[in-house]
Amino acid sequence: MYYSWFLPSILVYLILVLIISAFANRRKIGRLKVFFISLFFTPLMGFVIYKLSQPSYLQNFTRYRCPECVVDFTEPHKDCPLCRKKGQHTRLIVVKYAGI
């Protein structure tokens, strides 16, 4: 017997698994776990697990960078303390980071 529906159904299944795992990037469960759950069980089960997981929150960090010596500081300073020891007065640049 010739099964012409077998290969397209596998491709649709894998595409659904990839789409659901791509949505899980910003969740605590992560993309890889949802990918394997969707692959070994069903994409519907992976979608349910994705919806039940908690979102991962981003924390914002503010750093103060010296453009002369390229050192980051956590506290705000008027001038770079390292450059001040050398006798230079270099203003710090505010740099914002977003991390998980």
Using pLDDT thresholds of 50, 70 and 90, give the confidence band for residue 32: very high
pTM for this model (two decimals): 0.56
Residue 55 gets which letter from DSSP?
B
Query: What whole-number distance in Å separates Cα of residue 83 and Cα of residue 69?
Result: 7
Q: What is the largest CA-CA distance in the chain?
A: 85
pLDDT at 99: 63
- Copy the structure tokens of residue 53: 């997981």
pLDDT at 74: 87
Query: What whole-number distance in Å separates Cα of residue 25 and Cα of residue 18?
Result: 11
pLDDT value at 2 more than 90: no
